[in-house]
């Protein structure tokens, strides 16, 4: 083949490749009533917020929350005032209007008053309803003076119930500090190591015995704070002491089940009326 023609052919191919081509789009036929086909698929619309579920009303939610906080705030102020007046010696019952007057809450609405009368004050563990429908503070213990406190501590000691929390006494006994100061020689304060709360015990002087000082030093040198009852019992058993084996609550023994009797029942012959043995007949199944 002629090399000149080959060169022209190569130049034509290069020129054709370097020249960009533009594809003409098909024009819509004006006579055709059909719309042009859209090659791109339509994207589905996102679901509206109304179909996603019920919409939370933020305004109503905030209103409900603030109203409940207001109601419980009124209740907390009432309970605190009733406790304070009980500790000051005012133990006569009051109506709801008198309580709201003393706590400067006369602007409370009718709905809140109805809630206080029918639910809040009726079910509160620190408020007691008198027979005439009035309200009074309900203390942990019904003690009015230092003699009643000393009597209560003695009963706790005799029954083996231990002491009473100081905060319960302060809540129940009016003018508690004066009474405790008078009874300082007849009571004992012990701080509980778990939560550092003070417990009041009756000081039973009849149980006080003289103990040798050397024995007291040995007793205090033994640390048992990190040991439980089981470890102490094991230590005493290793030392040959079995004084704790009968202490503590005993588990009830499980009742023994009777095994079913597998022996066949044997008919016993009559022992009486032996003189009529030749007359009596047995009707055993053959």
Instruction: Judge whether residue 31 has pLDDT over 80.
Output: no
Return the pLDDT at 83: 92
Return the pLDDT at 51: 47
Q: How many CB atoms lie within 10 A of CB 133?
A: 10
What is the percentage of the chain residues whose pLDDT exceeds 90?
Answer: 28
Q: How many residues does the chain have?
A: 286
- Residue 98: φ, ψ to 5°: -65, -40
The alpha helices in 42-173, defined as continuous H runs, are 58-87, 96-102, 110-115, 121-123, 146-158, 166-172
Return the pLDDT at 136: 92
> Which is nearest to 149 in space by CA: 174, 129, 127?
174
Return the pLDDT at 252: 62
Instruction: Judge whether residue 66 has pLDDT over 60.
Output: yes
Spatial neighbors of 201 by CB under 8 A, at least 6 apart, are: 153, 157, 162, 163, 187, 188, 189, 190
Please compute the mean of the pLDDT values over residues 219-241 and round it to a whole number.
81
Return the pLDDT at 76: 92
* Whether 135 contacts 93, CB under 8 Å: yes
Q: What confidence tier does 135 reach under pLDDT thresholds 50, 70, 90?
A: very high
In terms of phi and psi (left: phi > 0; alpha: psi -120 to 50; beta: otherwise), the region of 43 is beta
Gyration radius (Cα) of the chain, Å: 48
Instruction: Judge whether residue 34 has pLDDT over 90.
Output: no
pLDDT tens-digit map of 151-206: 999 999 888 888 999 999 999 999 999 999 999 889 999 998 888 899 999 988 88
Q: What is the pTM of this model?
A: 0.52
Return the pLDDT at 53: 47
């Amino acid at each position: 083949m002629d090399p000149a023609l080959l060169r022209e052919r190569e130049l034509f191919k290069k020129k054709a490749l370097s020249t960009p081509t533009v594809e003409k789009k098909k024009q819509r036929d004006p006579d055709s009533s059909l719309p042009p086909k859209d090659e791109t698929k339509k994207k589905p619309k996102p679901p509206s917020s109304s179909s996603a579920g019920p919409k939370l009303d933020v305004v109503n939610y905030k209103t409900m929350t603030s109203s409940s906080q207001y109601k419980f705030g009124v209740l907390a102020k009432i309970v605190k005032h009733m406790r304070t007046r009980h500790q000051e010696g005012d133990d006569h019952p009051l109506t709801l209007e008198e309580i709201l007057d003393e706590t400067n809450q006369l602007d409370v609405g009718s709905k809140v008053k109805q809630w206080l009368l029918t639910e809040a004050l009726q079910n509160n563990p620190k408020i007691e309803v008198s027979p005439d429908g009035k309200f009074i503070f309900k203390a942990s213990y019904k003690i009015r003076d230092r003699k009643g406190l000393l009597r209560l501590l003695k009963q706790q000691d005799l029954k083996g119930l231990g002491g009473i929390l100081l905060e319960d006494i302060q809540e129940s006994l009016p003018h508690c500090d004066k009474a405790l100061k008078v009874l300082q020689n007849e009571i004992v304060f012990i701080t509980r190591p778990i939560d550092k709360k003070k417990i009041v015990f009756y000081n039973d002087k009849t149980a006080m015995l003289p103990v040798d000082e050397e024995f007291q030093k040995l007793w205090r040198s033994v640390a048992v704070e990190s040991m439980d009852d089981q470890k102490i019992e094991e230590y005493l058993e290793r030392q040959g002491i079995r004084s704790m084996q009968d202490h503590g609550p005993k588990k009830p023994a499980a009742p023994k089940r009777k095994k079913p009797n597998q022996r066949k029942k044997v008919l016993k012959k009559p022992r009486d009326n032996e003189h009529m043995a030749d007359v009596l007949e047995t009707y055993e199944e053959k």
